[in-house]
Chains A and B, each alone.
Chain A
């Protein structure tokens, strides 16, 4: 038992997280090359880390550091060149489309460019994941309305996305991402297209979702926002993780 605790402490000192069954994301020696033949040219090089359940992290780094590529691998839009990725304790196997759909149903993903469906109104956009998973309108009507009220879009349920402001679109995208109450929320530059004040408001939403139990990983290059939040950071540079904060400041200053 003492040996196991020793190992856990060692792992904690290396990765910043305690390894265990509650890891939502686990990267084991993962590299990504986008067709590059030499490992020196890889975008991401031999990454090993874990995100424990309920953690909150900013993924930072300069442009081209591989933040989006790392997120893509987590939401299974990009297969690694080498290494092993596990999500929710399940090792991801390349080419298993059914597994991709099953694992993605536990994810909530938010993009900088929102990726809303322009031909659906606000309510239908937010309800989309529930509809995809076979829930009926009667089942999801109240939940979706309540969620859109929470993100401040109650008066625009029937509005089309093109009439919304950037902040409203992002809040709608977040609503769509969390409507299924996902275990893991990934956000790629969610404040990139909105002003600072709205950015802070959006971040508070993510922190609130984290308090409710979701694991959150947000890629951003907005250092001022990261500093203001006081939340833990996972920093990428030249394909390596160069900074890992312990997840001890849940809630931060937000």
Chain B
């Protein structure tokens, strides 16, 4: 996936301000360092402000919205995106937005899948079993049990809630509770990290730069707020045995969105919408009928 220009959804910007230039640079540029001034804190304050704005305006997992509302985010003259939304409108019923905080893939995946399990019980027992056993797998890979078991327990608790027919609203509330929701994200990140490390020989071929799989996991998977790419999606869906489809709504000059299934030849259970830097959830008409019929009241 290459990064695309264009009106990306609001996303935490990566602020790359080097507040105090390298010292020899400082001399060259005639940089007047003011020892009274805290450059570090200034940058952090600015960043905190942006984060606060996102927290204030975007729910972790929002309401379902129509495509007509989605289209309003784009300029009238933005032909490519408008055309692609029209295309999506023919295939799907609505979209559910997630907060653009760098964790959106994990949150969208976690919510959409558990929501699906509420109305389609086929995979409930298998999924629960995979999640229960995953702690042992991670400990086996060298993650300290003491550090990761809280995250595992939180995630398993939520899976159990779904297994025991919690209400739709309970699931929505859980995913909008910052603490619980972030613990779910952490655990899904750990599952990705664990799977990448377990299959390191294979995934090493897809890692950019001079890094080992382990370094990649430490830098790009485990820390909160780190965005997800193809490799993260493949690892999570492989590890959990869940099939998803991603509709790519990018700037590529085609009239329709391209989609990719993970794994490739599978029948997807949930669909995510990708716009450069961000993932939301898509619902088909069939999904909506299923929800109407089967949701625990």
A, B from the same assembly: no
